[in-house]
Amino acid sequence: MAGGKIRKEKPKAAAKAATPYQGGISFHKSKGQHILKNPLLVDSIVQKSGIKSTDVILEIGPGTGNLTKKLLECGKMVIAVELDPRMVLELQRRFQDTPYSSRLKVIQGDVLKTELPYFDICVANIPYQISSPLTFKLLNHQPAFRCAIIMFQREFAMRLVAQPGDKLYCRLTVNTQLLARVSHLLKVGKNNFRPPPKVDSSVVRIEPRKPRIEVKQKEWDGFLRICFNRKNKTLGSIFRQKSVLSLLEKNYKTLCSLNILQQGSGGNDDSALDYSNEDQSMEVDEDGDEEEMDMEDGDAEEGEASEFKGKVMGVLKEGDFEEKRSSKLTLQEFLYLLSLFNKAGIHFS
């Protein structure tokens, strides 16, 4: 225009909206798409995985294939499960007409809904929002794999490897360690990804226990839910609550009426834990101030259910658990306490 300057629009906003990579693919943070861009880190993960040349490797969320390429170089075969069809096409294009093409099988779909084939080892940088259900899906997979090397959000990873007395020790910790041995391998800063996530990450090693520790799923889960209701309260305080005593007494009377307390009918159908529908990654134990988390003991009125209450307290005293706290109990102590309750005819499901 006469007498004025034509202003050129700066395409900065549009450029920031998408984060292109190979083939112009943009990544969606909302879908947990954060691709590892540090080749040294990729090499370190593969090295720590201990992959054998005969291994069938499961990779979850391969993205554009940076980790996939290294896995193909080490193992016999890679089975990659990817939800995003754009990434599937990129993977196929990247390895097409290469020596690796015959050793890569790509499954397009939601890993939580996909029946996983046989694999020896799992190596994955997963979308963090599926951390908990995926962990338990893998741990319940049969036949059991040798180990899994998985990148998790750091806090979730530290919950998995927590020890009794640690701040992050919780029900998720105990449930995972019942099924597997978990160890921390390395911390990963957010700047190793494109686009960078808001939090740091950690790589952990998960080895399924062989043989498995057999428990009845509903019984074990009901027991832990009560114990971790307030993990820093004494077990004596937790099991004196009226609501807890009422629930356990109801179970006790039901089982007595069915005359199955002493039958030991077996029925280990539910021995395989399944927490695929539990949002344990969001599980937060309310363990702040003792005053804030203090619960009313809710003792039953004098004479009301006093006999059953004495039975429950007797179990705690027998195992010297009355003054102990869930936040400091080991897995073996939880298993022992549950066995004492069951021996006394007290059940949690």
Cβ burial, residue 279 (10 Å; 0-12/13-18/19+): exposed
Closest CA to 326 of 230, 223, 248, 245: 230
CB proximity list for 94: less than 8 A, separation 6 or greater = 22, 64, 65, 69
**Lowest-pLDDT range, 131-145, 156-170, 270-284?**
270-284
Residue 338 is assigned to a ligand binding site:
no
| pLDDT one-digit tens code per residue, 232-275 | 999 999 999 999 999 999 998 888 877 654 555 554 445 445 44
Residue 34 is assigned to a ligand binding site:
yes
Residue 82 is assigned to a ligand binding site:
yes
How many Cα atoms sit within 13 Å of 256 on the Cβ side?
Answer: 9
Residue 36 is assigned to a ligand binding site:
yes
pTM summary value = 0.79
Domains of the chain: 29-208 (3.40.50.150), 215-259+304-348 (1.10.8.480)
Residue with the bigger pLDDT between 347 and 267: it is: 347
Residue with the bigger pLDDT between 321 and 30: it is: 321
| pLDDT one-digit tens code per residue, 287-317 | 433 333 333 444 444 444 588 999 999 999 9
**Lowest-pLDDT range, 112-116, 123-127, 225-229?**
123-127
pLDDT for 219 equals: 96
Q: Is the pLDDT of residue 231 over 50?
A: yes
Rg (CA), the chain: 25
Q: Is the pLDDT of residue 181 over 60?
A: yes
